[in-house]
C-alpha cells in the first residue's frame, strides 16, 4: 500500500510518536510525506520515506496529485483544528480528493489507529484491486 503522511507543525511530534508505535506495520508499505514531516519521521524511525516539498511550498499539492492519479491508498494528515492555517484550502482539497477517490483519510490519531489496525488485518486490501 502507498501511504502518505503529513502533519501541521503542532502535530508533528504526535506523528513521530504514531510512526514509532506502528513502525513495524508502516515498514511493510511505501511511504511518502511532505518535506518536514517526512524528514522528522525518517530521522525518528529510520523508515524509508519519499519526501515531497514542505506543505507550504507545494507538498500538499504533490500528495493531492498522487491521490488524483490513484497512487495513494491511505492518507494520514494530523491537523490542528484549533489554529486555522493559511494552507487550509489545501487540506480541504485533500479531503475532497480522498472522498472522490475513496481513499481512507485520518485527520487525528484515533482514526489513524483504526485505519492502521485495519491495514494490518487486510481490511484495506480492496485498494489493490481498485489500483489495478
Active site residues: 60
- Angle of CA points 65, 105, 78, to nearest 5°: 95
Please give the grid coordinates belonging to residue 110. Answer: 484515533
Nearest of 99, 39, 111, 97 to residue 69 by alpha carbon = 97
- Angle of CA points 28, 37, 42, to nearest 5°: 45
Cα dihedral value 27, 132, 107, 62, nearest 10: 90
Amino acid at each position: 500500500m502507498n501511504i502518505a503522511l503529513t502533519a501541521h507543525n503542532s502535530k508533528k511530534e504526535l506523528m513521530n510518536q504514531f510512526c514509532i508505535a506502528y513502525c513495524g506495520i508502516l515498514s511493510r508499505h511505501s511511504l511518502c510525506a511532505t518535506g518536514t514531516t517526512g524528514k522528522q519521521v525518517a530521522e525518528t524511525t529510520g523508515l524509508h520515506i519519499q519526501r515531497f516539498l514542505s506543505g507550504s511550498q507545494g507538498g500538499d499539492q504533490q500528495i493531492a496529485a498522487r491521490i488524483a492519479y490513484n497512487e495513494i491508498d491511505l492518507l494520514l494528515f494530523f491537523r490542528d483544528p484549533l489554529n486555522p492555517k493559511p494552507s487550509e484550502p489545501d487540506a480541504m482539497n485533500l479531503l475532497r480528493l480522498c472522498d472522490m477517490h475513496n481513499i481512507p483519510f485520518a485527520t487525528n490519531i484515533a482514526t489513524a489507529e483504526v485505519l492502521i489496525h485495519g491495514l494490518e488485518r487486510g481490511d484495506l486490501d480492496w485498494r489493490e484491486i481498485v489500483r489495478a
